[in-house]
């Protein structure tokens, strides 16, 4: 049995630090995306769509409402990319979703590429 992998990453943008923690288990992944220090924020969950389903991935906000749209978007994108149940936390303190969204997506892609490199 392989233990879950934990990958961290960060980036400086818009005068602040953004960080990511990606926990990858066999059948699911959990991602914490934060502005500043690592923190729990709005939490969304998404299930990947099945092979025969033609609908969008299913997602829902479990906790919070401040960055709900961004959390759902990132959860759905990650579930589709990994094919796993995905839980995403987005914590933004001063930067709005519109400006932080592209930064967090690039940071998550960077962290997921790190994971792929360690698997090789």
Running along the chain, 120 residues long, what does each successive block of 10 average in pLDDT? Answer: 86 95 94 95 90 70 94 93 94 93 94 72
Would residue 48 count as lying in a domain?
Answer: yes
Structural domain total, the chain: 1
Q: Are 29 and 23 in contact (CB under 8 A)?
A: yes
CATH code for the domain of 74: 3.30.230.90
Q: Which two tokens stand for residue 120?
A: 């090789």
Predicted local confidence at residue 28, as pLDDT: 95
Predicted local confidence at residue 48, as pLDDT: 85
Predicted local confidence at residue 2, as pLDDT: 75
Q: Which two tokens stand for residue 40?
A: 């729990």
Predicted local confidence at residue 4, as pLDDT: 85
Q: Are 71 and 40 in contact (CB under 8 A)?
A: no
Place of tokens 């959990």: 30
Q: Are 117 and 60 in contact (CB under 8 A)?
A: no
Would residue 117 count as lying in a domain?
Answer: no
Would residue 18 count as lying in a domain?
Answer: yes
């Amino acid at each position: 049995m392989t233990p879950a992998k934990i990958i961290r990453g960060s980036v400086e943008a818009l005068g602040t630090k953004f960080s990511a923690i990606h926990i990858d288990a066999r059948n699911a992944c959990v991602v914490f995306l934060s502005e500043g220090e690592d923190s729990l924020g709005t939490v969304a969950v998404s299930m990947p769509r099945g092979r025969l389903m033609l609908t969008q991935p299913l997602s829902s906000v479990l906790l919070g409402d401040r960055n709900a749209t961004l959390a759902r978007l990132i959860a759905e994108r990650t579930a589709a990319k990994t094919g796993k149940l995905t839980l995403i936390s987005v914590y933004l303190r001063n930067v709005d979703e519109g400006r932080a969204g592209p930064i967090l997506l690039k940071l998550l892609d960077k962290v997921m590429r790190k994971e792929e490199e360690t698997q090789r």
